[in-house]
Amino acid sequence: MNSMRIIVAGGAGYIGSHVCVELVKAGCKALVIDNFVNSSPKALERISEIAGGDVELLEADLADPADTQRIIDAVKAFRPDGAVHLAGLKAVGESVAEPVMYYSVNLPATFTLVRALEEANARLIVFSSSATVYGALNENPIDEDGATGPTNPYGRTKLFIEEILKDLALADKRWKVCNLRYFNPVGAHPSGRIGEDPNGIPNNLFPFIAQVAVGRLPKLKVFGDDYPTRDGTGVRDYIHVVDLAAGHVAAIDYLSRKATPGAVAFNLGTGSGVSVLEAIGAFKRASNRDIPYEIAPRRDGDIAEFFANPSRANAELGWKATKSLADMCADHWRWQSGNPNGYRD
Ligand code: UDP
């Protein structure tokens, strides 16, 4: 691992910034490619501050043909060993309203990155996929051999990219691919210096709770309390973003050690579920703030319960989520309370 050179596409974002910290800590050199459409250059300063090493930056849009040659040149000049690919649009609701935008950003960004890696002779890629590729077709816990059937365009871009990378690895044995299927990433770096900074009103549970706790939003809506779960609210597999980031480093290490791994999918989750009411309770304890909430109707498209079987990643990557729900809440709160407006002043 030490001294590997890794491109981090989307490296200024929520997950990408945590991946950069773990890469620098592991002794790697990183080149971030980001267009800052949903991220801030401040994250990069803070990565250096936390990890004690710089990351290089190429400000460019992987999905914009006008930037393609500049990206290829910069990637070749960096002489990478591989890439972590987290560049793309990621809002489920927006993808339903603007499907063509999602397809025409997430797929071309991948093509450009793959082409640049080919030209740099660095055929190793760890892709930021999502457990959303499974849709609602499987019994819990979900394993990687489960059926896929994403229920929105965002999720379909994740599945299509996985399939494209699989085809690539089938066509050319030099390609090494990990498709990492994230469950529900939450929390922040324990330093409180980097974390999730959603644009506008958050859709996801943790950022919403955190903004209620800090007083930026008045009240949380709990979407349904009549699910067949232990307290009637939806159950998800929340994973600390630092554990998730460590999974990327483990995936790079795994791919670099294997001669011809092909394309392998891994669930990154804890393997246990937490209900909405349990999450509220834990956040309340961590923040020592009141979290007003009301029970609201179910949200369209939500399922009752969804959690991972992470045993393939545990066994093959030698990786395991180690942080508790209390850690996720404490770290999320440290970030939110120290940076009530995210990276904006
Ligand atoms: N949820 C909620 N209120 C919110 C946002 C989410 O009750 O304002 C619930 C949602 O119904 C689900 C869980 O929290 O049961 C996690 O939702 P999130 O959007 O964070 O993740 P996903 O649905 O993609 O797993």
For ligand 1, the distance from its centroid to the CA atom of residue 205, given in whole angstroms, is 5
Residue of 134, 196, 223 best suited for mutating to test ligand 1, as the one with most atoms within 8 Å of CB: 223
What is the dihedral angle through the alpha carbons of 236, 324, 141, 225, rounded to the nearest 10 degrees?
-30
Is residue 254 part of the annotated active site? The answer reads no
- 17: confidence class by pLDDT, cuts 50, 70, 90: very high
DSSP E strand boundaries for the chain: 5-9, 29-34, 56-59, 82-85, 124-130, 176-182, 184-186, 220-223, 235-236, 238-240, 263-268, 274-275, 293-296, 305-306
Residue with tokens 């710089």: 54
Catalytic residue of the set 154, 182, 227, 238: 154
Q: Which residue has better confidence, 1 or 207? A: 207
Looking at residues 176-204, what average pLDDT do you find? 96
For ligand 1, the distance from its centroid to the CA atom of residue 86, given in whole angstroms, is 22
**In this structure, are strands 184-186 and 293-296 parallel, antiparallel, or unpaired?**
unpaired
Query: Closest ligand 1 atom to the C-alpha of 222?
Result: 7
**Is the pLDDT confidence value at 1 over 90?**
no
* Predicted local distance difference test score (pLDDT) of residue 301: 86
Q: Tell me the sheet residues that pair with 127.
A: 85, 179
- 193: confidence class by pLDDT, cuts 50, 70, 90: very high
- 196: confidence class by pLDDT, cuts 50, 70, 90: very high
For ligand 1, the distance from its centroid to the CA atom of residue 223, given in whole angstroms, is 7
Contacts of 269 (CB under 8 A, 6+ apart): 131, 182, 183, 184, 237, 239, 307, 308, 310, 321
Domain 5-186+239-269 in CATH 2.60.40.10? The answer is no
State how far the alpha carbon of 259 is from the alpha carbons of 164, 255, 312, in Å.
21, 8, 19
Is the pTM higher than 0.75? The answer reads yes
d(CA 304, CA 47): 36
**Is the pLDDT confidence value at 27 over 80?**
yes
Strand order in the sheet with 235-236: 274-275, 235-236, 305-306
- Residue range 106-142, pLDDT digits in tens: 999 999 999 999 999 999 999 999 999 999 999 999 9
* Predicted local distance difference test score (pLDDT) of residue 91: 93
Domain residue spans in the chain? 5-186+239-269
Angle between helices 325-338 and 205-213 (to 10 degrees): 50
Name which residue sits closest to atom 7 of ligand 1, judged by CA. Answer: 222
- Residue range 312-324, pLDDT digits in tens: 999 999 999 999 9
Query: Closest ligand 1 atom to the C-alpha of 234?
Result: 15
Spell out which residues line ligand 1, taking CB within 6 angstroms. 184, 203-205, 208, 220-223, 234, 236, 276, 299, 302
- The token pair that represents 281 in the structure block: 């309770």
- Residue range 270-315, pLDDT digits in tens: 999 999 999 999 999 999 999 999 999 999 889 999 999 999 999 9
- 345: confidence class by pLDDT, cuts 50, 70, 90: confident
* Predicted local distance difference test score (pLDDT) of residue 304: 96
**Among 236, 183, 267, 134, which residue's Cα sits nearest to residue 15?**
183
* Predicted local distance difference test score (pLDDT) of residue 199: 85
Query: Closest ligand 1 atom to the C-alpha of 276?
Result: 14
For ligand 1, the distance from its centroid to the CA atom of residue 320, given in whole angstroms, is 24
* Predicted local distance difference test score (pLDDT) of residue 72: 98
Looking at residues 72-78, what average pLDDT do you find? 98
**Is the pLDDT confidence value at 2 over 90?**
no
